[in-house]
Amino acid sequence: MPRELIFVQVGQCGNQIGMRFWDLALKEHAKAKQSLLYDESLSSFFRNVNSKNQELKIGEPIQNLKARALIVDMEEGVINQILKSPLGELFEEKQCIQDVSGAGNNWAHGFYHYGNQYEKHIEERLRKTVEQCDSLQCFFMTHSIGGGTGSGLGSRILGLLEDNYPEVFRFTASVFPSGDDDVVTSPYNSLFSLYELAKHADCVFPIDNSALINIVDQIDKPNKARLVKENAHEGSVGIKITQFGEEEKRQKPFDKMNSLIAHLLSHITCSMRFEGALNVDLNEITMNLVPYPDLHFLISSMAPLYSLLDSKLQPRRLDQMFNDIYHPDFQMITGQPSLHKYLAVGLLVRGDVAFSDVNRNIKKLKDQLRMIYWNQEGFKYGICNQPPIGQQYSMLCLANNTCIKDTFQEMTDRFQKLYKRKVYVHHYKQYMEQSHFDETLNAIQNLMVKYQELELAQPKKYQRIQPIF
């Protein structure tokens, strides 16, 4: 039976990520398909309809693919761009929910004002999208948590998903703001969103802009070096480099960063779309990597990185990828997992990879990683036979690691820096009680305490009782 996934794209950032993802998904399925028939693999992300918008069954010829998605933004610019783009045919206007004025970088405005205004509309659109599925497995939300719409309205939608579809998994790819974010209210918005993510999501993949920028810089360096080397033989280095710079300028802001997130989403979902020697379902991710319900923030890292955006570079050996995957430079969020405790680790490999090679490398990793004492064998791995576009194989690591508390601490510090002076609080009090600030702060501090307790956890030593006789 096919298993479907519905994408919920919220806010400018969430929708820009979504567009990069849909573009990548189409390319992957086009490469993998052996026929022009609609199959179970395609049905995970797409519906197939005829010219009268009637649903076609699996096994029938592909006519018009429609994405299983809900597109939400309180500014109309990005959604209009989506509908006018080459990918616009994937979407119908009834899948889009939009306004014109935006949420003004105010979480409360998005959560309460637009949440109340559009709640019934969103629930109705979700209901119709769900009814088009035979076996819905997961909602996957893409959004940022530093602004107003993605954070506030995104949080409201996440709660609606839990209320209306409690048995369906809720995964999010959530872009966390960096410390130098130019949105002055992002410390408030991000912590309010984090509180909702802890309460309502089943699994969160935190991503921060500073880590993405670092990855893009790594990718660009060998590209520029290669251009210099190529053109040194032609005697026209200056011209070529100038052309490269112009090409860079033509790219939309954050395109490369959004492409990295799109590859992350593709990798997470590949096992439900393609055949594999040892496929890992999405429910297995939560079952194996989330030991406590609110500790569901997974640090993601991918290897190889350089060929995600440029397949001309030489592929790396599998063993080298296992080393790379645990280096901070390959992570989607800034942190030092090696200095902290791993609660569980998931490894998802794509491509023609032997079990023996994976097992051999995992055995080496077990000696290197600081696993918590009660889960020393806490490794879950899967192998999907379909490689990514332009690569022989690739690897994704999902780690539940106590180092995420450092990220939460930084977010809390930025929140308190504003809140102790009560600056900008009046903007939020238009929509909610001030007590929500204190409630959120206490909840996140308690969440950090849980991680800290696990960080310090040691097996109990029992005193040996001497026999009486």
The catalytic site residues sit at 284
**Alpha helices by DSSP H, 205-276:** 209-232, 237-250, 255-269
Q: How far is CA 131 from the centre of its chain?
A: 25
**How many residues are given for the chain?**
469
Residues 14, 18: Cα–Cα separation, whole Å: 6
Q: Are 172 and 206 in contact (CB under 8 A)?
A: no
Q: Hunting for tokens 């809390």 — which residue is that?
A: 412
Give exposure, 286-318, as e/b (b: 16+ Cβ within 10 Å): bebbbeeeebbbbbbbbbbbbbbbeeebebbeb
CB atoms closer than 10 angstroms to residue 454: 20
Residues 58, 390: Cα–Cα separation, whole Å: 28
Residues 156, 160: Cα–Cα separation, whole Å: 6
Residues 157, 6: Cα–Cα separation, whole Å: 13
Residues 262, 28: Cα–Cα separation, whole Å: 12
**Beta strand 69-73 pairing with 4-10:** parallel
**Beta strand 69-73 pairing with 136-144:** unpaired
Amino acid at 441: L
H helix or E strand, kind and range, residue 322: helix 318-324
Q: What is the DSSP letter of 357?
A: H
Integer distance in angstroms from the first to the last C-alpha of the chain? 65
Residue 310 CA neighbour count, 13 Å, CB half: 15
